[in-house]
Amino acid sequence: MSEAQASPPPLPAESPVERVSRQRSMALPAAIIFLGVTVLALVGTREARELEGRPWAEAILAPDNVLEGEAADVPGVIPVRVRDVSRPGDKALTFLATSFETWASKEEHALKVDFNRPERVMAAALDVEDLAPLLASGRLPEPGRPEVLAGDLARADPFEVDGVSFQVTGRLKPHVSGLLYSYLLPLDAGIEEYFTEATGATQGWLHPEGLAHLDELLPNPDEADAPELLGLRTRTRPAYAWVALAGLMLVAWGGAMAHIRVFANASHGDARILGPLLTETVERPRLFAGMHVALYGTFFACMVLGLCFPLLNYRLTEYVGAIFTEGGLSYVGDAYRSQNILQAALATYYNNYVVQTLGFTFLPSVVPLALGAFKTAASFALAGFVMAPVWAGSAAGQVFHSITMALELEAYILASFVVLVWPIRLVRGVISGAFSQHVARAAHIYIGGIVLTGAMLAIAALYEATSLILLW
């Protein structure tokens, strides 16, 4: 027998579905997700221990109300006189305000967010020595002189009050709450004339341990005339922020790997509605992986920008918060405030699936231009910037919410993949001459995408509502 006759016949070439489906194990993606969540938990725990007991880390300030009623009788309350700083706004914030002015005005309810709100100068009834533990750099202001300490994100250049130049002599520590974008100085006889009612100053209050006394300071927070409160928003250390970012990236990586493998494994099943879509994710691995790289790349690149521009992040998160409290998504905020898990899940699902996915991704993309994919990229950019772990407590908050991120974003990535496959299939049909066959296949994939993203976002909405209401 010759050597050629003794050789075994060549194995048949594997199809893309068979090749990918061999990667069935969920152990690796589960381990990566667990590692990412563990990183977030460790950062959150370390950060909380570091902040525990630090002076003014839980301070709360009410700058624009008259000091009267219950708050005036709470032990530890410090009277404060407040004025806006009159000078040209921050250039980046001015651009942001101009860019969003038209958009915000189209909201059903006018949003009360001023992107370029001026800094405030606070004259507090305390001794200059009380400020020593709060000083991060520079020196303390001299009593009676127009000298101030700048909050963490306030500008360091001088400003004028009634024609008098106030100098910034030092900066407050990043953990000091309530004074993020403000200036602070002791209320002394030498500068009191600049903080009278005649000058337009308002009288508010400051409590260095306000979080522990919040029920006494604000017994009826839902009343229409409840004062504006500042505080509990302080920057975390840069090292914590970057490690938390790495934790989020691990969760996203593990989530993407898990979904890709689940779809590949399920593509061998008998799912009539989902079969063509699941097979398409396997037969077009580069396109499916490319959607992950493009959209997650956009998401995390904007998250890095959020870390680099904390003041812009602060203003944009205020804007997004206003949308959920008084803007077009106030029904979602109301559902979560009700503490009803089912109601919150339904409101989340309606926004994420019916409005964002069906209304803004699938419906516009019926015209074969994949318009919904561009909308999704813009949403990923905004979400990434706003979710940047700039602030103390972000890492701890993402321990559970990072799973929501992985579930929801995967559904949006799948929807974008589907609306890109739609025109590709149509073009292939024209080129190949089998147009009707490709249209039928593309339509089946489109319908499968609508069904599967609906199921994925339903699971994500229920998890998000449950975790936020029970664990926050």
The model's pLDDT over 245-284, given as tens digits with 9 standing for 90+, comes to 999 999 999 999 999 999 999 887 666 789 999 999 999 9
Pair (366, 438) in one structural domain: yes
Q: Are 79 and 23 in a shared domain?
A: no
Render pLDDT for 333-368 as a digit per residue (tens, 0 to 9). 999 999 999 999 999 999 999 999 999 999 998 988
Q: Which residues, at least 6 apart from 372, have a Cβ–Cβ distance to it below 8 Å?
A: 360, 361, 362, 363, 364, 365, 415, 416, 419
Return the minimum-mean-pLDDT range out of 102-116, 373-387, 421-435. Answer: 102-116
Domain-embedded: residue 5: no
Mean pLDDT on 37-48: 97
Has residue 66 got a pLDDT over 60? yes
Residue 429 within a domain: yes
Q: Which residues are within 8 A (CB) of 436 and not within 5 positions of it... i.e. 6 or more apart?
A: 429
Does 4 reside within a domain?
no
Say yes or no to pLDDT of 403 above 90.
Answer: yes
Do 33 and 148 belong to one domain?
no
Residue 309 scores a pLDDT above 60: yes
Same structural domain, 369 and 318: yes
Last-in-domain residue among 201, 231, 261: 231
Residues 320 and 434 in one domain: yes
**1 falls within a domain:** no
Res 108: pLDDT: 45
Q: Is residue 338 part of a domain?
A: yes
Token output for 271: 């799912």
Look at the chain and report how many structural domains it folds into: 2
Q: Please report the pLDDT score of residue 97 as a whole number.
A: 64
Q: What pLDDT, on the 0 to 100 scale, is given for residue 438?
A: 86
pLDDT in tens, 407-439: 999 999 999 999 999 999 999 888 888 888 889
8 within some domain: no
Question: What's the angle, vertex CA 17, arms to CA 16 and CA 18, rounded to 5?
Answer: 95
Lowest average pLDDT, out of 29-43, 315-329, 339-353, 413-427, goes to 315-329
Task: For residues 202 and 251, state if they share a domain.
Answer: no
Residue 300 lies in domain: 16-48+236-471
Residue 3 is assigned to a structural domain of this protein: no
Q: How confident is the model at residue 21 (pLDDT cuts 50, 70, 90)?
A: very low
451 in a domain, yes or no?
Answer: yes
Domain boundary among 231, 262, 296: 231
Q: 301 with 440, same domain?
A: yes
Residues 176 and 243 in one domain: no
Could you tell me the pLDDT band of residue 222, with boundaries at 50, 70 and 90?
Answer: low
- Name which residue leads in pLDDT, 193 or 86: 193
Whether 163 and 116 map to the same domain: the answer is yes
Q: Does residue 420 share a domain with residue 364?
A: yes
Query: Which of 231, 254, 279 is the last residue before a domain boundary?
Result: 231
